[in-house]
A = this chain, B = another copy of it.
């Protein structure tokens, strides 16, 4: 949380990961982000992981620092209020971020009629408007079939396409707002989740690999493609990654393990130059055989001591419990984090934005709102409604506050 974008107001009607992450990224740089949800919450309001009482840790994680307005988007008056909030005046307002299908009366043309310089960021599944989610886009990407040992597809658990799409939305929002601040002109910015995947597959060279080489990279388990790196078991049942991308990292492995002499025998044995990435990749099984025996003879702590200060590029595998309980980076010793009281959930370690701006120092991460927490204040501040009018909207079930009514 910093104050860099404090003159911006963004209205978000969203669900799941991508659009909420885009909005949260803006909120974490100080923008006022108003998330409008249907009464009772949107389709992501109870997504897992949840607490034993059913409160969504996922929803809380992706909506930090936002304001929450609960609104009957299924009623004409609810949609009218949403339109009024989205298109309210103000030089930094008039920015709408959504992954709703365009059919819900919050389309660009309607909104632009109310505010000509509207900026609308819209995430769609496929470019043609058909549905796609991280799971289907990932299946099509080619990655699951080269993840793990091969043969069977292995899905990622990290929703990587959603995360990339959310950050493209944040980038696109700032680029469009920059354009508006210079020209006075708004615009619609559309990104398709499947295009995020396709662009990334292309950016990493895999389309060229098929079209130029006529081949595709194989499934090679946890081995690095085109260089040396893989996982190893330690004597105490842990796993580590050891990697050599550069010549210096490669030399460091030999020195730190005392295996430099033996490793050097692999070059002539395999007829490769181990000072090149391609040579180490070609000889990876032989290199791995030596290192596996060395790792299996030592505990994780012994390996940590052997590698300390040597320039070996390595890391230990840990599960979520170990990450949270044992890794000092995942604690308040890291200024990324603070223990925050999240209403309805409790106090736990909450991350801020991973960007550190020297000119806009971090403040403590703000929790996610309670659904409807800011209904009244938004209606009053943004639309100038009186308390009598706000009361009527509650009575008629058009809006709800944090008590659900």
Interface residues of A (CB under 8 A from B): 4-5, 17, 21, 24-25, 29, 43, 46-52, 56-58, 60-62, 64, 126-127, 131-133, 135-137, 139-148, 152-160, 163-165, 167-168, 170-172, 174-179, 183, 185-192, 194-196, 198-213, 216-217, 221-222, 224-227, 229, 231, 239-241, 243, 245-246, 277-278, 281, 313-325, 327, 329-330, 334-337, 342, 345-346, 348-360
Contact = CB atoms under 8 A, between A and B. Distances in A.
Given A133-B243, A136-B314, A168-B167, A191 B319 contact: no
B50 A226 contact: yes
A147 B154 contact: yes
Quickly give the copy total for this chain.
2
A137 to B, nearest CB: 7
A133 B313 contact: yes
Nearest to A20: B203
Contact of A158 (B25, B156, B351, B355): B156
B49 A205 contact: yes
Contacts of A241: 135-136, 139, 155
A315 B135 contact: yes
A320 to B, nearest CB: 4
Contact of A353 (B199, B350, B354): B199
B147 A4 contact: no
